[in-house]
Amino acid sequence: MSYLIKPAGYKALLNLAQTEMGIKKIKDFFQQNLSSELRLRRVTAPLFVLKGMGINDDLNGTERAVTFPIKDLNDSKAEIVHSLAKWKRLTLADYQIEEGYGIYTDMNAIRSDEELGNLHSLYVDQWDWERVMNKNERNIEFLKETVRRIYAAMVRTEYLVYEMFPQIKPTLPQYIHFIHSEDLLQKYPTFTAKEREDAIAKEYGAVFIIGIGCRLSDGKKHDGRAPDYDDWSTIAENGQTGLNGDLLVWDDVLNRSMELSSMGIRVNKEALLRQLAINNAEEKKELYFHKRLLNGELPQSIGGGIGQSRLCMFYLRKAHIGEIQASIWPEEMRKEANDAGMYLI
């Protein structure tokens, strides 16, 4: 079901021309800063991959990929990517990227099962990135340091927007707050996961929630995560589970939290086998990606995705992602949004 938030008294701070100018500046500036912070080089990404190789991102395991037959491959099926979580790791190996360096790319995807709304579209655009690491960096502190570097690029970009458009005042705090999903549950034991995200993001302005995909003390996951890219089952030095997480900020326009990035240290052989067993998905061991990982052909890595349209939406103080990108929306939503001052492209 689609759902529209209509902020009372909403009025866009920028017109269409200013919005397009802002999108261009934000995307150019942020990706340059991301590249410098993490030592990433840009590579070209696929829009689709062959079905049945285990390369596409399974997201929560329930979303259906858009598929089509390829005439010159005897009608073998291809899938529009959901994200490039696993493709990037293959690319690190094939390009022989050295330790401490990595890649980023403009990822465009179609997620036909999305529940459409202010933050969710059929069309997904993000910077997908992946960096080679060594086994000694397989810890929470390395994860946090990487998050801090990405967040520093976000803070600098927000200041660029303020210089361009002084009517948009910076709201991001200087530092990002870290909390494990289990600690967040204990802090707000009667809240749903979404309510916990809103509460902690409102309190700190920017937060990274560690441990997405593992079961918490209430028997539930904070959110779903596929078993074959992020490591969410390893016990860290602090005794908590998970070497991944989500980066959220507080959005004053929608009066709610907004997830801008999902990332994590990737599975090694042991974590992959453990998580496939947990998810009853051990048949995936026979797929192309999984075989290469289990055979030791892929480097240890850390990686994630950063939503381009969401980032622009946050910086430009827009109330709907459709004010940033062109997509398809239910006609009723388009009319309601227009009446509420949200002009969908």
Supply the pLDDT for residue 52.
87
Element spanning 212, H or E: none
Give the C-alpha separation, 119 to 115, whole Å.
9
pLDDT at 85: 87
- Could you tell me which of 53, 114, 44 has the C-alpha nearest to residue 82? 114
DSSP-derived 3-state class of residue 167: coil
Per-residue tens of pLDDT for the chain, all 345 residues: 568 999 999 999 999 999 999 999 999 999 999 999 999 999 999 999 999 888 887 776 678 889 999 999 999 999 998 889 899 999 999 999 999 999 999 999 998 888 999 999 999 999 999 999 999 999 999 999 999 999 999 999 999 999 999 999 999 999 999 999 999 999 999 999 999 999 999 999 999 999 999 999 999 999 999 999 999 999 988 889 999 999 999 999 999 999 999 999 999 999 999 999 999 999 999 999 999 999 999 999 999 999 999 999 999 999 999 999 999 999 999 999 999 999 999
**CA dihedral sign of residues 195, 85, 100, 295:** positive
Q: Of 33, 269, 237, 42, give the one whose Cα is nearest residue 143.
A: 237
Listed by start position, the domains of the chain span 16-339
Instruction: Quickly list DSSP for 95-125.
Output: TTPPTT-EEEEEEEEE-TT---BSS--SEEE
Active site residues: 57, 111, 126, 246, 259, 262
**The model's pTM:** 0.94
CA distance 264 to 246: 9
Order of strands, sheet of 48-50, starting from the edge strand that comes earlier in the sequence: 48-50, 76-80, 67-70
- The per-residue DSSP string of 275-313 comes to HHHHTT-GGGGGSHHHHHHHTT-S--EEEEEEEHHHHHH
pLDDT given at position 1: 53
Count of Cβ atoms closer than 10 Å to residue 336 Cβ: 15
d(CA 93, CA 289): 12
Radius of gyration of the CA atoms of the chain, in A: 20
- 141 phi and psi, to 5 degrees? -65, -40
Please tell me the distance from the alpha carbon of residue 305 to that of residue 111, in angstroms, as a whole number: 15
> Could you tell me if 117 and 125 are in contact, meaning their C-beta atoms sit under 8 angstroms apart?
no
Q: Which fold has domain 16-339?
A: BirA Bifunctional Protein; domain 2 (3.30.930)
* CA-CA-CA-CA torsion sign (281, 282, 287, 292): positive
